[in-house]
Chains A and B, each alone.
Chain A
Amino acid sequence: MNASLFTLTEDELDTLVSIAIRRAEVLDQAGSLMANDAWREVMTYEERLAAITPPDEIPGGIARVGAVTAALAAGQRQEASRLALQYRDEESLPEERRAAIERAFREDGEQLAKRFPALAKSGKFAELQELRRRSAVTPLRVFPKVA
């Protein structure tokens, strides 16, 4: 994460995330190739907002779900899984927010299945998702880590 983000206040981050969401949604609707980058920017602001707001308050809950959904929209499913894992570990995160995170993954999976029906039908898609989920906990490595 960019170091300059750490100096921003919650109000300043609210401004940035508001502008970034609008831009990402406009680019998405236009089918622009830049949409992924725009969603990555949204993810960065949401992640920072999540870091400075309590999980049991409305803005904090929104930022946590927002970071996950923005990561999914940016096509960064591994990052989305990592964030979801981190936020689910927070005991005070309300049940409704946990359900919103689950829903985001389910909807993303449904969208992917529509885009890649053959992969979804053959069951390989589920395997791929499982591999991604596991790799979020234990990063995949080409070579064994040196002890």
Chain B
Amino acid sequence: MIFARCTRSFGATQLIMQSSGLALQRAGHASPIPVGMDHDGRENKADIMWLSQDMTVLKVLDSNRVTEDGAEAVALAYANATEGWVVKRRLQQREGADWLLGKERRWLALEISGTAVGDPFARLRVKKQQLIANCSLDAERLAVVVVFDAPFIVAGTA
């Protein structure tokens, strides 16, 4: 995942980069790994690459947070790699989305969810509904769910 180009503020995503590698390695994967993708029903494939992480760190980290942060890193890289969105900033919970991304005077509110195992499509439906109900920003909206055991990325516009 090439973060340097998906964010103007590298430091903003630096903290979650490590988690994406840890979440993937915890699921038994090694870099690079093929990943399945579904974006509004359009299927695709790509490879995820990351710097190998020291797994002993997992002993002192919250497991759910590693999954959530890891999913954020994967989703931000996905939004950049597929449509060129660039990270602007993290949003407070009350905005109803996790991140604001931008490109050429367009804005995207991105809602992200991560899970170690499970059905990503059911979760995507929930996330899309949350975006519609809670995000009042005058921006395009995208929900992304990352499953680490497959690994698989599902994305849907809301």
Contacts and interface: CB of A to CB of B under 8 A. Distances in A.
Q: A and B from one assembly?
A: yes
Given A11-B8, A11-B9, A62 B91 contact: yes
A144 to B, nearest CB: 39
Interface of A: 11-12, 14-19, 21-22, 25-26, 42, 58-59, 61-62, 65-66, 69-70, 94, 96, 99-100, 103-104, 107
A16 B90 CA distance: 10
A99 B90 CA distance: 21
B15 A19 contact: yes
Given A14-B88, A17-B90, A70-B92, A62 B100 contact: yes
B137 interface: yes
Tell me the dominant secondary structure on chain B's binding face: mixed
A18 B9 contact: yes
Contacts of A94: 138
A14 B8 contact: yes
A66 B92 contact: yes
A18 B88 CA distance: 9
B11 A99 contact: no
Nearest to A96: B136
B82 interface: no
- Residue with the highest number of chain A CB atoms closer than 10 Å, among B91, B92, B93: B92
Interface in B69-108: 88-95, 100, 107
